[in-house]
């Protein structure tokens, strides 16, 4: 069997064997394939699909194309969470230390912003000195001693996925569910996890806007991860408005620290974070009853243990030891802060969430090209949730911008993004479904 024959078999709608897939991914990893061959394979999978066994084999082959981490000395269950991305989704920043405070070890490999969605690494780089690419010894030590570390993907972690994704990105094959599944899971499973929880976002601020599409992706991820030997479940969560009341980098870091101090109780952000935390504790076998597991999560916040873990993680990765106590001293602050005022009386009834994410990019808080430099200080804070009753002149949010021109442009976007109506909108559950 040759890579050409593997492409031909999939092109003709045949199921590939484990050996077929291993052969192709090994050739990919050794740089023996042309971009044309990689693109042909991706398009064949896009058009013909893969069954569950094929997708498991592809995931494992890409996982094993590089280093597979081991945290055998941690002495605690190894777990992680992955989100498909949204606006104001800073859950990872609170969830990892909260889980560590509850007795788990969380080696979290995170990414940068993609499209209109913010990236965990971009947010963490708001912290002076924070090293998103520590050496392996430091990463393992922090996971063992502190309980969590949030860093970026290293070059030797699932390298086959990096090359395959680069070709998918320019051959209109990104949307293939088997390829998405293998891409996400190969990197996560290379972290040596015992269990995993997936947050699949759904709505006008997510990549998936249709509930059936989101359910299909979640089901594929769960089936393949479990098939690969990692206990996994998924939550479908609502992204029809920003999850946090902030969108940006430093502004979301401030939001994170306020959350860890117990200042975000009763928010949609708290609901999602606690639900994911309870799911992680259940999957890891710490507390199978999700109601009791959620109480453990809440206690980790109320006691201050989660906040302490976050501070130790930040310091262990090169950030200031007193970040939590001196947030405003260390985090960058925008030159211009412009309150956005409501133009009418009524209830906030809807928001085009993706536009909020794009407005952050326009302010300089995200990238249109990989070479773009990020302004970590810009974004939105104080975003009011849908259903809020407002009067003309009330503050809907505060814009953080580098100059007045940028602020005024963002103001127009925000005003156009929000709808105000006479009647309150129907409440939507933030956690839609468990798979």
Q: How far is the CA of 247 from the CAs of 165, 242, 259, 330, 378, in angstroms?
A: 27, 7, 15, 19, 9
- Note down the domain range covering 374: 333-421
Q: Identify the CATH number of the domain in which residue 369 sits.
A: 3.90.1170.30
Q: Is 83 a catalytic residue?
A: yes
Contact between 279 and 287 (Cβ < 8 Å): no
Q: Indicate if 145 and 274 belong to the same structural domain.
A: yes
The first and second tokens of residue 364, run together, are 């300089």
CA 176 to CA 218: how far, in whole Å? 13
**Residue 9 within any structural domain of the chain:** yes
Q: Indicate if 169 and 259 belong to the same structural domain.
A: yes
Contact between 281 and 296 (Cβ < 8 Å): yes
* Domains held by the chain: number: 3
pLDDT at position 157 is 82
DSSP symbol at 206:
S
pLDDT at position 115 is 60
**Residue 432 within any structural domain of the chain:** no
Across 350-369, b (16+ Cβ under 10 Å) vs e yields: ebbbbbbbbbbbbbbbbbee
**Residue 308 within any structural domain of the chain:** yes
pLDDT at position 315 is 98
pLDDT at position 369 is 67
Q: Indicate if 259 and 291 belong to the same structural domain.
A: yes
User: Which ranges of 264-350 would DSSP assign to H, the alpha helix?
Assistant: 268-283, 290-302, 305-316, 327-330
pLDDT at position 290 is 94
Q: Which residues of the chain have pLDDT under 50?
A: none
Catalytic residue among 29, 59, 83, 237: 83
**Residue 13 within any structural domain of the chain:** yes
Q: Is 231 a catalytic residue?
A: no
Catalytic residue among 140, 187, 201, 215: 187
Q: Indicate if 156 and 276 belong to the same structural domain.
A: yes
**Residue 55 within any structural domain of the chain:** no
Catalytic residue among 183, 186, 273, 406: 183
Catalytic residue among 81, 123, 231, 268: 81
C-alpha 392: how far from chain center? 35
Q: Indicate if 303 and 276 belong to the same structural domain.
A: yes
Q: Indicate if 387 and 345 belong to the same structural domain.
A: yes
Domain end, chosen from 316, 342, 370, is at: 316
Q: What is the DSSP string of 162-196?
A: HHHHHHHHTTT-TT-HHHHHHHHHHHHHTT--SEE
**Residue 363 within any structural domain of the chain:** yes
Catalytic residue among 10, 63, 76, 82: 82
pLDDT at position 71 is 82
Q: Is 333 a catalytic residue?
A: no
Q: Indicate if 279 and 381 belong to the same structural domain.
A: no
Q: Indicate if 178 and 40 belong to the same structural domain.
A: no
How many residues are present in the chain?
Answer: 435
Q: Which helix (H) or strand (E) holds 409?
A: helix 404-417
Q: Indicate if 157 and 95 belong to the same structural domain.
A: yes
Q: Indicate if 222 and 254 belong to the same structural domain.
A: yes
**Residue 259 within any structural domain of the chain:** yes
Q: Identify the CATH number of the domain in which residue 8 sits.
A: 1.20.970.10
Q: Indicate if 340 and 237 belong to the same structural domain.
A: no
Q: Is 183 a catalytic residue?
A: yes
Q: Identify the CATH number of the domain in which residue 306 sits.
A: 3.40.1030.10
Q: Indicate if 165 and 309 belong to the same structural domain.
A: yes
**Residue 417 within any structural domain of the chain:** yes
C-alpha 410: how far from chain center? 24
pLDDT at position 113 is 59
């Amino acid at each position: 069997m040759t890579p050409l024959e593997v492409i031909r078999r999939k092109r003709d709608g045949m199921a590939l064997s484990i050996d077929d897939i291993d052969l192709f991914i090994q050739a990919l990893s050794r740089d023996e394939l042309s971009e044309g061959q990689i693109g042909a394979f991706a398009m064949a999978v896009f058009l013909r699909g893969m069954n569950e066994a094929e997708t498991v084999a592809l995931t494992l082959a890409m996982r094993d194309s590089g280093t597979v981490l081991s945290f055998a000395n941690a002495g605690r269950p190894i777990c992680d969470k992955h989100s498909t991305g949204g606006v104001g989704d800073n859950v990872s920043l609170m969830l990892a230390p909260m889980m560590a405070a509850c007795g788990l070890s969380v080696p979290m490999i995170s990414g940068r912003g993609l499209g209109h969605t913010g990236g965990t690494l971009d947010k963490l780089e708001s912290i002076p000195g924070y090293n998103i690419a520590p050496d392996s010894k430091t990463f393992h030590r922090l996971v063992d001693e502190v309980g969590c570390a949030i860093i970026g993907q290293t070059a030797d972690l699932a390298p086959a996925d990096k090359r395959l994704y680069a070709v998918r990105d320019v051959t209109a094959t990104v949307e293939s569910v088997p390829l998405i599944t293998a891409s996400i899971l190969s990197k996560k499973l290379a972290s040596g996890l015992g269990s995993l929880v997936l947050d699949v976002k759904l709505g006008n601020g997510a990549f998936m806007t249709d509930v059936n599409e989101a359910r299909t992706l979640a089901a594929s991820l769960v089936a393949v991860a479990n098939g690969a030997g990692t206990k996994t479940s998924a939550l479908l969560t609502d992204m029809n408005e920003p999850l946090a009341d902030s969108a940006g980098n430093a502004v979301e870091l401030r939001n994170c620290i306020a959350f860890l101090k117990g200042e975000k109780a009763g928010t949609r952000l708290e609901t999602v974070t606690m639900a994911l935390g309870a799911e992680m504790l259940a999957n890891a076998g710490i507390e199978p009853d999700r109601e009791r597991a959620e109480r453990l999560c809440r206690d980790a916040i109320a006691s201050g243990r989660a906040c302490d873990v976050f501070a130790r993680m930040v310091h262990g990765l090169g950030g200031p030891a007193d970040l939590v106590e001196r947030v405003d001293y260390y985090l960058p602050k925008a030159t211009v802060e412009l309150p956005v005022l409501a133009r009418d009386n009524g209830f906030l009834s809807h928001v085009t969430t993706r536009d909020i994410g794009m407005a952050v990019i326009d302010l300089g808080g995200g990238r249109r090209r990989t070479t773009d430099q990020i302004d970590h200080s810009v974004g939105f804070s104080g975003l009011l949730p849908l259903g809020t009753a407002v009067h003309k002149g009330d503050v809907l949010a505060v814009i953080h911008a580098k100059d007045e021109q940028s602020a005024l442009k963002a103001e127009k976007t925000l005003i156009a993004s929000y709808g105000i109506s006479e009647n309150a909108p129907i409440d939507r559950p933030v956690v839609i479904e468990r798979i």
